[in-house]
């Protein structure tokens, strides 16, 4: 079991399994025949997933534009609060097909906010690609699904591959659970 910062990390999705999924997801995205595709990576958690996914998209022949939006939903705790727009996209999304990329879908609050913002600006379509879907955390008032899902995620707080606890553990090449002191 890997040890990082004197914590044992239980590996949930190894780097090798994640690498295989990028190409499969890229092929699923390519099959949709989007026009004038704009990828919007939701910072900070999706930075590694988005980096790998857009390169897989290139490998299957897609040529999207790539943009970033920084949203904060959790503030300092782990209960979903209000979504805050910390950094907006620079592109005009009017008439574009937008693919929003995030690390993990839980309640759906973050992605609902991002979708509604893109639609209010005239996006032609909005789809979601998420590395992990923690379906058990979905709330009744936001019942929606991502269009492209890497893996179903068990009901644990996960770290690695961009995801953090107080900005730590993002560098891990795998997704894992902090299992306790080493």
Query: Where does this chain bind ligand IMP (CB under 6 A)?
Result: 45, 73-74, 80, 102-110, 157-158, 163
Q: Is 53:25 a contact under the CB 8 Å cutoff?
A: yes
Q: Residue 48: which of Mg ion, ligand IMP, none does it interact with, CB under 5 to 8 A by kind?
A: none
Does the protein bind Mg ion through residue 108 (CB under 5 A)? no
CA–CA gap between residue 53 and residue 45 (Å, rounded) = 14
Q: Residue 118: which of Mg ion, ligand IMP, none does it interact with, CB under 5 to 8 A by kind?
A: none
Token digits for 50?
Answer: 């988005």
Q: Residue 157: which of ligand IMP, Mg ion, none does it interact with, CB under 5 to 8 A by kind?
A: ligand IMP
Q: Which of 3, 85 has the CB closer to Mg ion?
A: 85
Nearest to 159 by CA among 26, 21, 17, 48: 48
Neighbours of 134 (CB within 10 A): 18
User: Strand 175-181's sheet: what is its strand order?
Assistant: 3-4, 7-13, 175-181
Q: Residue 105: which of ligand IMP, Mg ion, none does it interact with, CB under 5 to 8 A by kind?
A: ligand IMP
**Burial annotation 87-117 (CB, 10 A radius, 16+ → b, else e):** eebeeebeebbbbbbbbbbbbbbbbebbbeb
CA–CA gap between residue 157 and residue 29 (Å, rounded) = 28
Q: Which of 32, 170 has the CB closer to ligand IMP?
A: 170
Does the protein bind Mg ion through residue 160 (CB under 5 A)? no
Q: Which of 74, 136 has the CB closer to ligand IMP?
A: 74
Does the protein bind Mg ion through residue 162 (CB under 5 A)? no
Site for Mg ion in 40-79 (CB under 5 A): 45
**Strands 37-43 and 65-72, how do they pair?**
parallel
Total number of residues binding Mg ion (CB under 5 A)?
1
Q: How far is the CB of 109 from ligand IMP (least distance, A)?
A: 4
Q: How far is the CB of 142 from Mg ion (least distance, A)?
A: 15
Residue, CB closest to Mg ion: 45
What is the binding site for Mg ion (CB under 5 A)? Answer: 45
């Amino acid at each position: 079991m890997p040890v990082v910062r004197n914590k044992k990390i239980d590996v949930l999705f190894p780097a090798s399994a994640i690498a295989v999924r990028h190409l499969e997801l890229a092929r699923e995205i390519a099959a949709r025949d989007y026009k004038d595709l704009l990828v919007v990576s939701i910072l900070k958690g999706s930075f590694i997933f988005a980096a790998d996914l857009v390169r897989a998209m290139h490998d299957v022949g897609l040529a999207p534009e790539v943009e970033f939006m920084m949203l904060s939903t959790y503030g300092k705790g782990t209960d979903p609060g209000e979504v805050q727009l910390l950094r907006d996209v620079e592109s005009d999304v009017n008439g574009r097909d937008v693919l929003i990329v995030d690390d993990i879908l839980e309640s759906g609050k973050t992605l609902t906010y991002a979708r509604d913002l893109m639609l209010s600006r005239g996006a032609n379509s909005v789809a979601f690609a998420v590395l992990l879907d923690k379906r058990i955390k979905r709330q009744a008032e936001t019942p929606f699904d991502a269009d492209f899902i890497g893996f179903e995620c068990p009901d644990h707080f996960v770290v690695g591959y961009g995801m953090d606890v107080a900005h730590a553990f993002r560098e891990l090449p795998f997704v894992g659970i902090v299992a306790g002191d080493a």
